[in-house]
Amino acid sequence: MEKNYNEEFVNNIEEKKNNDVYSLAKKFLKKYPFTITWRIKQHSKILQKHLNKDEDIIYLFPAQKNPNPFDIYSTCILALTSKRILISQKRVLWGYYLTSITPDLFNDFEVSKGLIFGNLTIDTVKEVIQLSDLDPRCLTEVETNISEYLLKIKREYKKDKERKDM
């Protein structure tokens, strides 16, 4: 009987953590309602599953992971964590995609505003990630958070690398 209680307690903790990721995404969408997204709860579960115990979410937002503003069926959630950038995307039927970008692989990013929606392009060493269908009013907030995050995490990464080299 005690084991079932402990398992239920652990499941409740995981559910609360998942709801925190989900609530952050919902908070963003409430603030910027013209961002086109679908199935946020499922994408939140994938992101929560891959967060390390010592990793904290600094900033999070949903978007479409594609360059085409008319392709609205590839929603993902991008999270800036204390260690890396995570992009989670639950597939419609089975499985999911997760992209993890560490500070050493990140080159730069570009924000652009179109007629109706905004876009974000992240350039890494291996690939170019294009996010679209963002509410244009969120672009300054997204740009500011990503810029500050990158300056901070790149600085910490360089310090850690210098310590290891010594």
**Entry pTM:** 0.80
* Unique residue bearing structure tokens 């937002």: 61
Instruction: Pull the structure tokens for residue 53.
Output: 């115990």
DSSP string covering 6-41: HHHHHHHHHHHHHHHHHHHHHHHHHHSTTS----HH
Express each pLDDT in 112-139 by its tens digit: 998 889 999 999 998 999 999 999 999 9
What is the tally of structural domains in the chain?
1
Q: Which residues contact 80 (CB under 8 A, 6 or more apart)?
A: 57, 58, 59, 60, 145, 146, 149
Tell me which residues of the chain have a pLDDT lower than 70.
1-19, 166
**pLDDT computed for residue 121 by the predictor:** 94
Which CATH number is 132's domain given? Answer: 2.30.29.30
Q: Which domain holds residue 116?
A: 2-165
Instruction: Pull the structure tokens for residue 106.
Output: 């990140």
